[in-house]
């Protein structure tokens, strides 16, 4: 009797540890809400193994405790799957529906007790748990999914869960194996699987948090564009892909200070956001758009055709006033642009300096203009 109790108690403590750690990570570090689903998954696991212990201690209530333990196991894996789908921004209602169906099946099996009810409940629980693990393993590749090692690890865990269902059938009365063999299989694999899953979810949260911190270091909070640091870091990679063929565009909003002074900083922020979206919406897949500070922005356009780039920039410039039909100013919001071709071996600072010079030449020419140095290939 002590071995099942010791195993279940160890799972209770391990599950509570991971559940608490996941909740703390969610509250302390502001990770996304899927961490709460994962925390609840481990709390359900702790509750399930807790009632198993109570069933051993009080045999008169063993039947209902076993049923509740099966329900907790199905709930634990359903919440795990919901958390992974929420992390991938996928609908998780199908998981909730399946959870309800399996939960109802277990209640029916327990109340009607067809054949050997405990065997039937174990098989239903194993099938549900394995299905939910499969729904994690086979998350679509286009979503925020899992790395191959994680998928492989979860696949083995799912296969183990299926083996528990097979063993439950084999451990039926007069079956191929004894009940003690089933308990041994459950005692060996379940704690290992729960610990591995807990460590896995914590590692995923840590990786997501690191990625978010890196994003915050590279992106501007207001415009959602690259900041100066991010623009410089990614430009090096883009120049490698484009083999150096490209143009730097410097641009800023004309008379932006008057927008803030007359209408307030909240309107000024909205002007920045709309202009940023305008720049981003016209960027190509290999182009870069960044906010260099204040109302100043930069673009890196991958191209060897100077005239095509100039036409794109002109369309950008012409489209700016239409972004603000609801903003009441004496003159419409406009932007000025400076365009230069990147030279071989030229640093961003050098190229951006030349683009900035072209930008201010456009302002000197009356604003709402584009001045370009397209180089010899234009």
Q: DSSP assignment of 203-236, as one string?
A: HHHHHHHHHHHHHHHHB-TTT-SB-HHHHHHHHH
| Cα–Cα distance for residue pair 135/92, rounded to 1 Å | 10
Q: 378 falls in which pLDDT band (50, 70, 90)?
A: very low
Q: What is the pLDDT of residues 6-43, one digit of tens each?
A: 778 888 898 999 999 998 888 877 668 899 999 999 99
With beta carbons less than 8 A apart as the criterion, state whether 302 and 287 touch.
yes
In the DSSP assignment, the letter for residue 1 is -
Q: Is the pLDDT of residue 244 over 70?
A: no
Q: Is the pLDDT of residue 113 over 80?
A: no
Q: Which residues are within 8 A (CB) of 151 and not within 5 positions of it... i.e. 6 or more apart?
A: 137
Q: What is the mean pLDDT of residues 193-221?
A: 84
Q: Is the pLDDT of residue 114 over 70?
A: no
**In terms of CATH architecture, what is 228-373?**
2-Layer Sandwich (3.30)
Q: Which residues are within 8 A (CB) of 316 and not within 5 positions of it... i.e. 6 or more apart?
A: 251, 278, 279, 282, 335, 337
| Cα–Cα distance for residue pair 189/192, rounded to 1 Å | 5
User: What residues does CATH 3.30.70.270 cover in the chain?
Assistant: 228-373
- Provide, rounded to the nearest whole percent, the portion of the chain with pLDDT above 90: 40
CA–chain centroid gap for 92, Å, is 15
Q: Is the pLDDT of residue 1 over 80?
A: no
Q: What is the pLDDT of residues 40-83, one digit of tens each?
A: 999 999 999 898 888 878 888 888 888 899 999 999 999 999 99
CATH class entry, domain 2-218: mainly alpha
Cα–Cα–Cα angle for 172, 174, 175, rounded to 5 degrees? 50
Q: 188 falls in which pLDDT band (50, 70, 90)?
A: confident
Q: What is the pLDDT of residue 359?
A: 94
Q: What is the pLDDT of residue 300?
A: 94
Q: What is the pLDDT of residue 2?
A: 47
Q: What is the mean pLDDT of residues 314-330?
A: 90
What does pLDDT average to over the chain? 86
| Cα–Cα distance for residue pair 230/352, rounded to 1 Å | 15
Q: What is the pLDDT of residue 140?
A: 83
Q: What is the pLDDT of residue 184?
A: 75
| Cα–Cα distance for residue pair 276/223, rounded to 1 Å | 6
Q: Please give the residue that has the higher pLDDT: either 315 or 331.
A: 315
With beta carbons less than 8 A apart as the criterion, state whether 187 and 165 touch.
no
Cα–Cα–Cα angle for 271, 276, 280, rounded to 5 degrees? 150
- Lowest-pLDDT range, 180-184, 286-290, 350-354? 180-184
| Cα–Cα distance for residue pair 217/219, rounded to 1 Å | 6
User: What residues does CATH 1.20.1070 cover in the chain?
Assistant: 2-218
Single out the residue of 82, 127, 63, 122 nearest to residue 101, CA to CA.
Answer: 127
Q: What is the pLDDT of residue 117?
A: 75
Q: Residue for token digits 């359903």? A: 78
Write the Ramachandran bin of 175: left for phi over 0, alpha for psi from -120 to 50, otherwise beta: beta
The H or E element spanning position 299 is strand 296-301
If one counts every other C-beta atom within 10 angstroms of the C-beta of residue 284, the result is: 10
Q: 218 falls in which pLDDT band (50, 70, 90)?
A: confident
Give strand pairing partners of 373: 340
Q: 312 falls in which pLDDT band (50, 70, 90)?
A: very high
């Amino acid at each position: 009797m002590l071995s099942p109790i010791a195993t279940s108690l160890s799972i209770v403590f391990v599950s509570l540890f991971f559940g608490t750690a996941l909740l703390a990570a969610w509250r302390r570090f502001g990770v996304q809400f899927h961490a709460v689903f994962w925390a609840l998954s481990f709390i359900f696991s702790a509750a399930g193994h807790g009632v198993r212990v109570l069933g051993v201690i009080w045999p008169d209530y063993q039947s209902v405790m076993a049923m509740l333990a099966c329900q907790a196991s199905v709930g634990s894996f359903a919440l795990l799957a919901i958390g992974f789908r929420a992390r991938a921004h996928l609908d998780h209602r199908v998981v909730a529906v399946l959870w309800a169906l399996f939960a109802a099946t277990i209640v029916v099996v327990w109340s009607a007790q067809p054949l050997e009810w405990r065997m039937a409940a174990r098989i239903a629980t194993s099938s549900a748990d394995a299905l939910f693990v499969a729904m994690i393993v086979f998350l679509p590749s286009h979503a925020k999914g899992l790395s191959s090692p994680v998928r492989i690890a979860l696949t083995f865990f799912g296969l183990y869960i299926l083996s528990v269902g097979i063993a439950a059938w084999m451990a039926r009365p007069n079956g191929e194996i004894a009940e003690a063999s089933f308990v041994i299989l459950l005692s060996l694999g379940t704690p290992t699987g729960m610990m591995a899953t807990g460590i896995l979810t914590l590692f995923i949260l840590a990786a997501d948090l690191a990625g978010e911190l890196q994003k915050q270091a590279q992106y501007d909070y207001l415009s959602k564009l690259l900041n100066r640091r991010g623009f410089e870091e990614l430009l090096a990679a883009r120049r490698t892909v484009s083999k150096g063929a490209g143009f730097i565009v410097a641009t800023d909003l004309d008379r932006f200070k008057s927008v803030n002074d007359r209408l307030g900083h909240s309107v000024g922020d909205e002007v920045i956001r709309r202009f940023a979206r305008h720049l981003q919406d016209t960027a190509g897949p290999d182009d870069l758009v960044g906010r260099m500070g204040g109302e100043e922005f930069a673009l890196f356009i991958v191209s060897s055709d100077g005239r095509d780039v100039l036409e794109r920039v002109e369309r950008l410039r012409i489209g700016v006033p239409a972004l603000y039909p609801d903003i009441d100013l004496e003159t419409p919001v406009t932007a000025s642009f400076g365009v230069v071709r990147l030279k071989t071996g030229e640093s961003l600072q050098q190229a951006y300096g030349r683009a900035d010079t072209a930008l201010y030449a456009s302002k000197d020419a009356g604003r709402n203009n584009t001045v370009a140095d397209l180089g010899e290939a234009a």
